[in-house]
Amino acid sequence: MTLVDSDVISRVEIELKKIMDPEFVLTGHETILYEYDGSVERARPDVVVVPSSTQEVMSIMQIAARYSVPVVARGAGTSLSGGAIPLQRGIVLSTTRMNKIIDVDLRNRRAVVQPGVINLDVSAEVNPQGFQYTPDPSSQKASTIGGNVATNAGGPHTLAYGVTTNHVLGLEFVTGDGRLVKIGGISRDVPGYDLVGLMVGSEGTLGVVTAITVNLMRIPESVRTMLAVFDSVDRATQTVSRIIAEGIIPAAMELMDQGCTRAVSSWMPEVNLPTDAGAVLILEVEGVEAGLDEDAERIVQICNDSEANEVRLANSDLERGELWAARKGAFGAIGVLSPNYYVQDGVVPRTRLAEVQRRVNEIGRGRGLQIVNVFHAGDGNIHPIILFDSNEQGALDNVMEAGEEILDVCIEAGGTLTGEHGLGMEKNKQLPRLLSRSDIDAMLAIKDIFSPNGLLNPQKVFPPGMSCRLF
Ligand SMILES: Cc1cc2nc3c(=O)[nH]c(=O)nc-3n(C[C@H](O)[C@H](O)[C@H](O)COP(=O)(O)OP(=O)(O)OC[C@H]3O[C@@H](n4cnc5c(N)ncnc54)[C@H](O)[C@@H]3O)c2cc1C
């Protein structure tokens, strides 16, 4: 880890206080609040800046470039892959003051927002007119659009509507050397390279995003939400494959295993989740009212054919809301089961879910670790949550090794290293298992264009020691 000399940091602090309100240049005790994100890693920044405008972001990046100080952009800090951790200390650039919805154009179904806008606030703004911003990570009450763009966030409704990249039309961002770049626009088809696609999911290594043009969708006319109860995770995952094989694409198919339903039940008893079941599926279909009951009935039939113990239909908006609150609050509920937990994020072909879940449990048993599961089953996007106590000697190493083994299993099954949380500083080590050295070099060549000094979120995405190109 390369750290910046304290004299340099002092000079950078003086420069930063000249270009922005000094109240928002933090170097004291409060910087400890920025040493965490949602992962198990931590590192404390030397300086935290909280700019209020794109112009300030440009000036910050120019100062950082002049003094060769690394910069890590930070939204809400809910990253589950250590993405927002300032591994080389330096500057953390928090976007929380850049939280304005700049423009809403309902006739063209577009909105332009600053990066610090919270995901759910976009929908809250346009819901009264019958519109929504569709990507709905379970962290949507907290996570920001800037963070969602950087990680290409998904969510329960990814199955039908795609991930963040499918809902971003244009971006404004500041490069590692302080240049302003605008890409994409209000229409979907911009000629030339798909630079918006390149930026979305680049985990803060190519630029600091300062404005985002997002697509808005009509709120579906009707929705049916079901809870199907199974004896085992095997049966539940097989049912997921059968539903897709029948040609039905539900809006969401989310799985919670017994460990998860028990944790959620003790936190939300009013949802009445079955605590003795091996697994439950939350299934949702939505769209125009005509034909929706038939789709729901076909799903119920497939669940029954797959030996579901019970299939419940949510009878009111309240019941539907409770089911989703249970699902989206699952990570929080699991927090009471152990002092710490580590969330993994792999993807496997849906048809391999049952066997991969068995292997995940074997890995847990072999290492004496309890693992609970809640995941986007429809996408084959698994989230084994490994419980541990960081005060126990060697516990964190054991957990991290288990996480790597789980991802190896995903790769062996024809899957990949991340469905939505990004590679960050945790899964980057395994990238060479998926990509060749020349693939990685091609990505590094692109990084050099936008971040020529390598100061943007260093040691993320790429494996340690591979941050330089060979050619
Ligand atoms: C309870 C819980 C549930 C979650 N559920 C989901 C889920 O369902 N789906 C999902 O995809 N994720 C989920 N996550 C993970 C996390 O919420 C997402 O990765 C989210 O997109 C991060 O947003 P953030 O604002 O917190 O970003 P941060 O954590 O602050 O940062 C994440 C990454 O984005 C970069 N970044 C942030 N802002 C910018 C910017 N303006 N410009 C450039 N780079 C930037 C950071 O450098 C970092 O690499 C969950 C997390 C928690 C804690």
Q: State in Å: Cα 135 to ligand 1 middle.
A: 13
Residues 115, 205 within the same domain: yes
Q: Is the pLDDT of residue 136 over 90?
A: yes
SS3 403: helix
DSSP string, 14-35: HHHHHHS-GGGEE-SGGGGGGS
Q: Which of 218, 233, 268 is the last residue of a domain?
A: 218
Mean pLDDT of 5-20: 97
Q: State in Å: Cα 278 to ligand 1 middle.
A: 30
Q: Which of 296, 326, 356 is the last residue of a domain?
A: 326
Residues 197, 106 within the same domain: yes
Ligand 1 near 144 CB (within 6 A): yes
Q: State in Å: Cα 77 to ligand 1 middle.
A: 6
Q: Is the pLDDT of residue 469 over 70?
A: no
Q: State in Å: Cα 329 to ligand 1 middle.
A: 16
Residues 313, 348 within the same domain: no
Residues 183, 265 within the same domain: no
SS3 435: coil
Mean pLDDT of 98-112: 97
Average pLDDT score over the chain: 95
Index of the ligand 1 atom closest to the CA of residue 37: 29
Q: Tokens 């109860």: give the residue.
A: 229
Please tell me the pTM assigned to this model: 0.95
Q: State in Å: Cα 382 to ligand 1 middle.
A: 17
Ligand 1 near 155 CB (within 6 A): yes
CATH label of the domain that carries residue 309:
3.30.70.2190
- pLDDT confidence of residue 468: 55
Ligand 1 near 139 CB (within 6 A): yes
Q: Is the pLDDT of residue 122 over 90?
A: yes
Residues 361, 295 within the same domain: no
SS3 438: helix
**Is position 21 within any domain?**
no
Mean pLDDT of 36-56: 96
- pLDDT confidence of residue 4: 87
Q: Tokens 């930070």: give the residue.
A: 74
Ligand 1 near 86 CB (within 6 A): no
Residues 208, 233 within the same domain: no
**Is position 110 within any domain?**
yes
- Which residue segment(s) compose the domain that 175 sits in? 101-218
Residues 318, 345 within the same domain: no
Q: State in Å: Cα 143 to ligand 1 middle.
A: 6
Query: Which amino acid, one-letter code, is at 394?
Result: G
Split at pLDDT 50, 70, 90, the class of 467 is low
Split at pLDDT 50, 70, 90, the class of 191 is confident
Residues 227, 274 within the same domain: yes
Residues 304, 238 within the same domain: yes
Ligand 1 near 153 CB (within 6 A): yes
For ligand 1, atom 2, the nearest C-alpha belongs to: 139
Domain count, the chain: 3
Q: Each residue of 254-308: pLDDT tens digit?
A: 999 999 999 999 989 988 899 999 999 999 999 999 999 999 999 999 999 999 9
Pairing of strands 217-218, 25-26: unpaired
Residues 213, 228 within the same domain: no
**Is position 371 within any domain?**
yes
Residues 229, 213 within the same domain: no
Q: State in Å: Cα 34 to ligand 1 middle.
A: 14
Split at pLDDT 50, 70, 90, the class of 187 is confident
SS3 212: strand
**Is position 33 within any domain?**
no
- CA distance to 220, 364, 409, 427, per residue, from 416 (Å): 31, 20, 10, 11
In b/e form, how buried is each residue of 254-271, taking b as 16+ CB within 10 angstroms?
bbbbbbbbbbbbebbeeb
Q: Which of 420, 442, 459 is the last residue of a domain?
A: 420
**Is position 384 within any domain?**
yes
**Is position 235 within any domain?**
yes
Ligand 1 probe mutation, 91, 136, 138, 202, most atoms within 8 A of CB: 138
CATH label of the domain that carries residue 404:
3.30.70.2740
Q: State in Å: Cα 79 to ligand 1 middle.
A: 4
Residues 414, 355 within the same domain: yes
Which residues are bridge partners to 170 per DSSP?
184, 213
Ligand 1 probe mutation, 151, 382, 456, most atoms within 8 A of CB: 151
For ligand 1, atom 34, the nearest C-alpha belongs to: 147
Ligand 1 near 143 CB (within 6 A): yes
CATH label of the domain that carries residue 165:
3.30.465.10
Query: Which amino acid, one-letter code, is at 224?
Result: R
**Is position 462 within any domain?**
no
Q: Is the pLDDT of residue 470 over 50?
A: no
Of the candidates 1, 450, 376, 26, the one whose C-alpha atom is nearest the C-alpha of residue 203 is: 450
**Is position 71 within any domain?**
no
